[in-house]
Amino acid sequence: MSAAELITPHATGIAGEQAALAHRCLYYMSLMREVEDRIERKLYRQGKIIGGVYVGRGQEAIPVGTSLLAEPEDVMLPSHRDMAVFFVRGVPPSRIFAQYMGRVGGLTRGRDGNMHMGDMNLRIVSIISAMAACVPVAAGAALALKYQGTRGVAFCYFGDGATSRGDWHEGLNLASVLKLPVVFICNNNQYAYSTPVSKQMACRDVADRGPAYGIPSEIVDGNDVLAVHEAGRRAVAHARAGEGPYLLECKTFRMTGHSAHDAADYVPKDLWDQWRKLDPITRLETRMIENGWTTQAECEAAHARILREVDEAVEWAEKSPYPDAVTLLDDVYEQS
């Protein structure tokens, strides 16, 4: 039984539903935080991670609040800072650790590293390293959902920096012209590597860009998971009803460098201080305790369970073998 299933909300009725949702959000956000911390702050420093590490610390509310809205037929296109999307879709942390370690147990069997992974059986399209390349792909996945006569929606995730690329604009325009069911979810975390939003675009908000394509756009507090979930519900309902795409800009902050090797000295200290107070996990826990949905002791117990789950996952990944070099030439094309 997973830690999420072990959690029993106290209240019943509508308040109970809210409490249950909050518990699920807390579990997935905490799991993402713990897995990423383990990768970035422990395994990477121990030399057990191959290559780069890109985390979404401080942004967990965005993948969690939105992907919990997805139906099985929906298609997910997470960015590299949306690890929780994989958990919500049923990918266990063990396979993500194996992915980061270049092992056969990773989603790409050692063919690619870090968050560059996907699994069409779970309807997760792999991250494409070129920013915003996922946007036209999301439009195409949505086209297929519509073509196949479903009510499915494509969830397309990206950061503020991606909105400068041509693919982003081509993809939004195409999705809107063809009225495709896509929810575009921007994590505006204020920095693309070292470049602040002010040097990324001359408009104030990413949401300013949606109306240019006839796409309804909304800004939400990206560090409030229940607010993200609520806004996401509007966005998904719009797309699922056949009204076309919707753009959701989630304001947040990247509480880390671009990657594990980036100390992010270019970020003013007071910004860190401001956003640390808005940590989405702390905020949710506080709110849940205030509402009587949980207790401090229960939170601590839940966290202990997550630590055990993560320990076991790391152990599994370390036992997963490296790929055999004889497989080097396999799967360039379909094997006949």
Partner 1 sequence: MPTTYLEAIREGLWEEMERDPNVFLIGEDIGVYGGAFKVTAGFLEKFGERRVVDTPISESAIVGASIGAGLMGLRPVAEMQFSDFITCGFDQIVNFAAKCRYRWNAAVPIVVRAPSGGGIHGGPYHSQNPEMWFVRTPGLKVVAPATAYDAKGLIKSAIRDNDPVLFFEHKGLYRRIKEDLPQEDYTVPLGKAKVVRAGSDLSIITYGAMVWVALDAAEQLAAEGVDCEVLDLRTLAPLDRDAVCETARKTSKVLLLHEDTQTGGLAGELAATLTERVWEYLDGPIVRVTAPDTPVPFSPPLEEAFLPNAEKVVAKARWLHRY
Which residues are near partner 1 by CB under 8 A? 75, 107-109, 111-112, 116-120, 125-126, 128-130, 133, 135-145, 147-148, 154, 166-167, 170-171, 173-174, 177-178, 331-334
Residue by residue, DSSP assigns 233-297 as HHHHHHHHTTS--EEEEEE----S-SSTT---TTS-HHHHHHHHTT-HHHHHHHHHHHTTS--HH
**Least separation in angstroms between CB 233 and partner 1:** 24
From the CB of 211, what's the least distance to partner 1, in Å?
A: 17
| Alpha carbon distance 122, 130 (integer Å) | 23
Residue with smaller CB distance to partner 1, 171 or 232: 171
Residue number, 58 or 152, with CB nearest to partner 1:
152
- Of the two residues 137 and 299, which places its CB atom closer to partner 1 in the complex? 137
- Say which residues have a Cβ less than 8 Å from residue 70's Cβ, sequence separation at least 6: 76, 88, 89, 153, 155, 236
- Choose between 184 and 253: whose C-beta lies nearer to partner 1: 184
- Residue 111 CB, nearest approach to partner 1 (Å): 5
**Nearest residue (CB) to partner 1, 13 versus 149:** 149
Nearest approach in angstroms of CB 47 to partner 1 is 24
- Scanning the structure block, which residue is given the tokens 């929810």? 183
CA-to-CA dists, residue 236 to 43, 95, 222, 286, 289, angstroms: 37, 29, 16, 28, 29
The least CB distance from residue 173 to partner 1, in Å, is 6
Q: Using an 8 Å Cβ cutoff, are 180 and 208 in contact?
A: no
